[in-house]
Amino acid sequence: MTSGPRAPRLTSLAPQLLVGDLARAVAYYERLGFAFGAPWDGFYAIGTRDGLELHLKEAPADDDARRRRRAHEHLDAAAGVDGIDAFYAACVANGVVIRKPLAATAWGTADFYVEDPDGNVIAFGGRRATDG
């Protein structure tokens, strides 16, 4: 029996966040556990953690758009986390700005939002340790 062509499969997806100060943004995301190499041409950096990437690009801020997004709880990225309680505790201990504290969701997980110095909001969510 001959099998057909293999279906395409995504192997990674990396958000690109626009930041006003690349060095400041790198320092912030290092507190979330990302490791960065040297920036490209002083305006672009890629952070890695657990096999995932986060791209940061220094670009002019659009403060009006950021305010509208924040007012309506629009996210810039969302990430799943195994060990959400421990990750939340580490973020708090590392001084990460928590926009929305860890809380249970209607769909059976728990999540929290962080906000970087440029107003980018990322949701982290996962099953609680007691959920099995």
| DSSP string across 48-114 | EETTEEEEEEE----HHHHHHHHHTT--SEEEE-TTHHHHHHHHHHTTPPEEEEEEE-TTS-EEEEE
* Amino acid residing at 93: A
For domain 16-60+67-131, the CATH architecture is: Roll (3.10)
Q: What is the pTM of this model?
A: 0.78
pLDDT computed for residue 34 by the predictor: 97
- Between residues 68 and 99, which one has the greater pLDDT? 99
pLDDT computed for residue 10 by the predictor: 62
Domain borders along the chain are: 16-60+67-131
Give the lowest-confidence range in 22-26, 43-47, 73-77, 89-93: 73-77
Q: If pLDDT is split at 50, 70 and 90, which confidence band does 36 have? A: very high
Give the lowest-confidence range in 2-11, 53-62, 72-81, 86-95: 2-11
What percent of the chain stands above pLDDT 90? 64
Structure tokens at 115: 């906000």
